[in-house]
Structure 1
Amino acid sequence: MNNYSTTVLTMARHFEVPAEKVYHAWLNPEMMKKWLFTLERTNKIIRNNPIVGGDWEIVDHRGGVDYRAIGKYVELDVPHKLVFTFKMPQFSEWEDTIAVELTETSQGCEMIFTHNINVPHEPSWTEADIEKAKAEAYDGTEHGWNLMFMGLKELVETGKVSYTG
């Protein structure tokens, strides 16, 4: 048995702006700082090199703790698709993969977000333990991205983010 399993989270969102504007919000550090992970007031480091093989980093400061997220860009197809890795080293050495696909619609654009979540587990775990861990990882990840996508939608459609995530 492997020491990890993978579960796939797929989410769809509609934005009333062109795909290029949403794509830009994923890559522009000033825009990323306003919605990605939490809010501008808690995101203290944003570093981004949006080229294939380039890396990105966000450090979010909450409750006296720094939370660091890092990754590398795997694919960039402006303004249709971006694929990148995602890791939070303070929690795990496991690296997830995220794909964002954008399609123009008559009312703006549709975003299909896919997060391949690696779920580490102990060799002694039963199948039930593994399924429980996968479900918890899925639910927690979905909750977090739902909050972020509320901020992303508000940012690209109004130019500001007011939710409190």
Structure 2
Amino acid sequence: MSPPPPVQIQVTHRFKASAERVFDAWLDPEKVRHFLFTTRATPLVRTEIDARVGGTFHLSDLRDGEEVEHTGKYLELDRPRRLVFTFAVPKYSEVYDVVTVDIAPLDSGCEVTLTHQMSPGFEQYHEGTRKEWGRLLGNLDALLGGDSRFVAHG
């Protein structure tokens, strides 16, 4: 019997910003602070990024006065077309997922397809995770001065 397949979530978003600007924002601690894993209710209080293959990131938000870390390791960085990294929130799970950000340049701007592979057994988080990635890509678009054109996939 083969193991169950990972749960895959895919979200696509079109940006007016160039592929280079979108790619660079994922690795810029000052920009990340304003779009990734953050809301008005849970601002990032720590943003540490070692932007190289094998490097790690540590981002923390505040929830009810407690610092909650989001962490991962960069597996692939191919500017401006692709980022691949592991991702976990150790407070809630020690399991690391894999997130792939594919960036396709367009005549005007670019299109991002984000694929999040979750471990089997996390199916109940599929819809919430899909919506959250869509929200985060919209945050990035707003930060870069665009408008939000978000398309979610299964």
TM-score by length of 1: 0.81
Cα distance in 1 for partners of 2:77, 2:109 equals 20
Contact preservation (8 Å) 1:117, 1:137: no
Task: Report the secondary structure of 2:32's partner residue.
Answer: helix
Gap change, CA 1:145 and 1:13, over 3 Å in 2: same
The structure with the larger Rg is 1
Of the three residues 125, 128, 131, the one matched with 1:137 is 125
1:69-116 C-alpha deviation (Å, 9 max, x unpaired): 100000000111010000111111111000001111112101010000
Q: Structure 1 runs of 4+ off > 4 angstroms?
A: 1-5
Q: Is the deviation greater in 5-14 or in 90-99? A: 5-14
Cα distance between partner residues in 2 of 1:46 and 1:2? 39
**Cα distance change of structure 1 residues 25 and 39 upon mapping to structure 2, 3 Å threshold:** farther
Instruction: Tell whether the 8 Å contact from 1:15 to 1:157 is kept in structure 2 after alignment.
Output: no
| 1:118 Cα offset (Å) | 1.4
CA positional deviation for 1:150: 1.5
Change (3 A) 1:3 1:140: farther
Give the match for residue 29 of structure 2.
29
Give the counterpart of 1:147 among 116, 119, 135.
135
Identity rate of aligned residues, in percent? 32
CA RMSD of aligned residues (A): 1.9
Query: Which is bigger in relative contact order (C-alpha 8 A, separation at least 6)?
Result: 2
Cα 1:107–1:86, aligned 2, differ >3 Å: closer, same or farther? same
Unmatched tracts of structure 2, length 5 or more: 147-154
| Gap runs ≥5 in structure 1 | 121-132, 159-165
Shift of 1:119: 3.9
Q: Secondary structure in 2 aligned to 1:141?
A: helix
1:65 is displaced (CA, Å) by: 2.6
Query: How far apart are the structure 1 equivalents of 2:43 and 2:13?
Result: 25
